[in-house]
A and B are shown apart, each in its own frame.
Chain A
């Protein structure tokens, strides 16, 4: 039996996935004596599903985590095989950086980074239960006999809490394939009366790359620009691999339809809702039956193995159906499956029971991050890990909370959505969720967040120095942008105007701007591009500033003292929504879907009539 050498910590993180790793690193950066507990420490930093990080909306969050000196972006660059900027032809605000990574290198990079924190300990153990003292969490029982103590605990259990795997008619209790689930902890959560529910997700079969007919398929190469996920990374690693694209066809669809009888999704054995934006292939065929084919991206999983991830055909159909389906696809006719796809159903907690620091309202010191909060995706998980870890450290060390609001970041948007709206299906980030999208770009994440993160002690000296260097460059460029220039050099008529004006008016690109002001050449292209984007959207961003001010004003109207149960004039449905989310300010209340202006007025009227001093 394993024995824990130390058993007193400031912060304990349960789970070694993307949320847990980011949480552990954030807590450690804030100076907390931190432990990360996982079933198997060799699997910490595992990419359970696709071997890629980033994408639309998701890439933004990786950049934001990086701006707070988080670890996901840096590890991604260390393991990168293939870079692609999605939506490259559209405006900068919606461009999504995505990187295919080597999953073995990624795990190694994470282990290295975590190993560099002296105040972070990895513990291999199964968590049996929480130790609770009064209204606070105090520690954990491990391996049926041992205890560890901390005043702040982050649960980042992913799909492991009450995890169940489905494939065809087979069912197994597990969190990931060949790994056991946390069953006892799941029971305790339900016994505590926490609002738990079930969600599902899935993963595709893994293919043997040596049996794929690559030559017959359309090739997708890495883009050849120089951007990286982390501003810590100085250049891209080599070598780079290529991906390939194939499609399902009518024959594939017939095979899938014939196999639906055995599907756990369609037979009703899986109760949990699945992600609408990342549906299984059987779901796609069922919902979009008239399409003649669906794209599949073939993504190499590692330089050191032949495993290939076919992105787009997540499935829980029976082994036989999966075999027939793969064999029907162009380029995969003689392809061997190394591991079959499966669906996993798991426990999640209604995130409306959390505060904006991701701490459970009902039990002090207990934080939740990642899939357990109803989200899907590595990036969503890691971003919550950052918030939960930083705030768990705040709790343990009595420091200030680390809160990001909707105007500051995608991370802020996600946390706000989760704690106010709850989820009905796994939550995936989309740029459409961010109302201040024009100012929340991937390329300005450092500018937006590094100073805030630095204010709460999340930033290393190394990053602080490089940020200040770049901030100086940004200030210099801003001055040059305010200087006036004649447009004649560019063949533009009119009197002298600021460079900012020309960028906006004549949609200057980088080369044209340098042509007008050669001094701009001395600055790094990413910083210059950021300034150009700011100038291009300036009128819109100024207008948004007023809107953001409105939002922040209404957030200053505190409702934290209100008892939503007794406010008159609210319909039962609205009262229910308010009781579940317990918005602590008027702005938050106004964002809850289905809360009418009249209800807001009732809340406001009540808040004004009931000064804080009267309650408690």
Chain B
């Protein structure tokens, strides 16, 4: 009995109804299924052809573009057929129902196509993680990052690191295993430099933000004393009337948050209660505490109070929010007026600049938590190797580093990784 003998099929495009639906078939019976459906053989593989699709009684199901991709250079590594049908629920159901009656064909389960691609060596783990991101990407930045990972850029980098590491390992093992290597008892100066460079490069990856941040967006928090105009600015930034605005100090109690996409990048903008320490109102007091906690976890803070009273934070933008009636108190403040619609563009570009610093440089990808944890492990061991003068411990740290790299690509602990990976995919991917 062969493991992947069944040929699977599923709707590979988005929700119906729509203009065109793509039904994908993968497996050894794909071409056979296509021949039965069209009752007319294709002239050439990998070229689209217009064909009628017939059911068992010879009735026309639809008129569709069809393509056959022979194995192994296909998405799944198997024979693949794609049918571009009209995107109506009835048409797709009719085609699928008929396919299900064919011998050896069955409906795909969640993650089936990707699993086959993986099993046939068409993708590695890092690539699959990238694919999952790609399918759920909402902004241009997430999409670019996901494509880079899907195309194997992380795998390439990991491979490069491993090659460098194995060279260093070989040198230390030579020292430890050659009987007459007495006298040599440490890495050469050039190798120490190479190790240092590797550590620096890996540190850059760790400092890049995570995929989770790319996905959920960069958190921008509006903070300041009561009645500083935070909610007005909040509504202006999200271009909706979300927060209640009143001249009464302490109007905003809880944290309001909105997800916005500014110039292809995801942000979470949060409006907070004014930082009024003197309040007796327990609800307002709770609001103030929540605001303070939110400030600590913010990526960027828009501070609407006096710059001298601003909280400590690495990314803080000082805003003079009522520029139409009050002069900025400091040259660092950006004058903004929601009422006269001035300064908003400048503020947005300031926010984007701050975000640029937070997001990965173009040659570095954002990492998943799993990948990031392993790269942090790698970094830890390489640092330990760099600091040690005992060749045995240097060698051990190199070995542990390789082990961490093997975990990234799935060479070790494969069963754990696999179990929770494929369940995240939708049918047809």
Q: List residues of chain A with CB within 8 A of the CB of B3.
A: 566-569, 602, 605-606, 609-610
Which residue of chain A has the shortest Cβ distance to B116 in the bound complex?
A: A569
A512 partner residues in chain B, CB cutoff 8 A: none
A543 to chain B: which residues have CB within 8 Å?
A: 400
| Given A437-B396, A567-B3, A601-B410, A55 and B179 contact (CB-CB distance below 8 Å) | yes
Query: Which single residue of chain B is at the shortest CB-CB distance from A90?
Result: B391
Verify B119–A90 contact, CB threshold 8 A: no
Asked if A540 lies at the interface with its beta carbon under 8 angstroms from chain B, I say yes
Interface residues as binary, B114-130 with A (CB distance below 8 Å gives 1, 0 otherwise):
01101111011100000
B392 at the interface (CB under 8 A from A): yes
On whether the beta carbons of B392 and A94 are closer than 8 Å, the reply is: yes
User: In the bound complex, what is the Cα–Cα distance between A87 and B180 (angstroms)?
Assistant: 9
Contact stretch, chosen from A194-202, A251-259, A428-436, A479-487: A428-436
In the complex, A581 Cα to B409 Cα: how many Å?
24
What B residues does A609 contact at CB under 8 A?
3
Shortest distance between the CB of B187 and any CB in chain A (Å): 14
Question: CB distance A89 to B177 under 8 Å?
Answer: no
Q: How far is the CB of A610 from chain B (nearest CB, A)?
A: 7
| B414/A604 in contact, CB under 8 A | yes
Selected from B115, B125, B412, the residue in CB contact (under 8 A) with A605 is: B115
Q: With A557-B415, A604-B415 as known contacts, state yes or no: A437 contacts B121, CB within 8 Å.
A: no
Q: Would you list which residues of chain B between 404 and 423 have a CB under 8 Å from chain A?
A: 409-415, 418
Q: Indicate whether A388 reaches chain B with its CB closer than 8 angstroms.
A: no
B378 to chain A, nearest CB (A): 14
The total of chain A residues at the interface (CB under 8 A) is 44
- Which of A57, A93, A597 lies in contact with B411, CB distance below 8 A? A597
* A602 B119 Cβ-Cβ under 8 A: yes
Chain A residue at smallest Cβ distance from B406 = A597
* Bound-state Cα–Cα, A435 to B397, Å: 11
Interface string of A579-616 (1 = CB under 8 A from B): 00000001000100000111111101110011000100
Within 8 A of A (CB), among B166-181: 173, 176-177, 179-180
Complex contact A550–B176 (CB within 8 A): no
Q: Does A289 contact B (CB under 8 A)?
A: no
A66 to B412, CA, bound (A): 34
Kindly supply a per-residue 1/0 record for chain B positions 169-210, scoring 1 wherever the CB is within 8 Å of any chain A CB and 0 otherwise. Answer: 000010011011010010000000000000000000000000
Q: Chain A residues near B173 (CB, 8 Å)? A: 430, 432
Given known pairs A540-B393, A540-B396, A590-B414, the reply for A89 and B120 (CB within 8 Å) is: no
Contact B396 A438 (CB under 8 A): yes
Cβ of A96 to closest chain B Cβ, rounded Å: 8
Please name all residues of chain B whose beta carbon is closer than 8 Å to the beta carbon of A437 when the two chains form the complex: 392, 395-396
Q: Which residue of A lies closest to B175 (CB)?
A: A90
Q: Does any Cβ of B come within 8 Å of A571's Cβ?
A: yes
Report B-chain residues with C-beta under 8 Å of the C-beta of A605.
3, 115, 119
Does any Cβ of B come within 8 Å of A554's Cβ? yes
Q: Quick one: which of B121, B177, B390, B399 contacts A598, CB cutoff 8 A? A: B121
Please name the residue on chain A nearest to B170 by beta carbon: A432
B403 at interface by CB-CB < 8 Å: yes
Q: Tell me whether B399 and A435 are in contact (CB under 8 A).
A: yes
Which chain B residue shows the least CB distance to A598? B121
* Residues of chain A within 8 A of B418, CB atoms compared: 601, 604
In the bound complex, residues from chain B placing their C-beta under 8 Å from that of A435 are 399
Whether a CB of chain A sits under 8 angstroms from the CB of B305 is: no
Within 8 A of A (CB), among B81-125: 115-116, 118-121, 123-125
The distance from the CB of B256 to the nearest CB of chain A, in whole angstroms, is: 45
The 4 closest A-B pairs by CB, nearest first: A91-B392, A597-B410, A569-B119, A432-B173
25 contacts between A and B (CB under 8 A): A56-B179, A87-B176, A90-B185, A90-B390, A94-B391, A430-B173, A437-B395, A438-B392, A438-B396, A540-B396, A543-B400, A554-B413, A566-B1, A568-B5, A569-B77, A569-B116, A586-B415, A590-B412, A597-B124, A597-B125, A598-B119, A598-B123, A599-B121, A601-B414, A605-B3
- Chain A residues at the B interface, C-beta cutoff of 8 Å: 55-57, 86-87, 89-91, 93-94, 96, 295, 430-432, 435, 437-438, 540, 543, 547, 550, 554, 557, 566-569, 571, 586, 590, 596-602, 604-606, 609-610, 614
B interface residues (Cβ-Cβ under 8 A, vs A): 1-5, 77, 115-116, 118-121, 123-125, 173, 176-177, 179-180, 182, 185, 390-393, 395-396, 399-400, 403, 409-415, 418
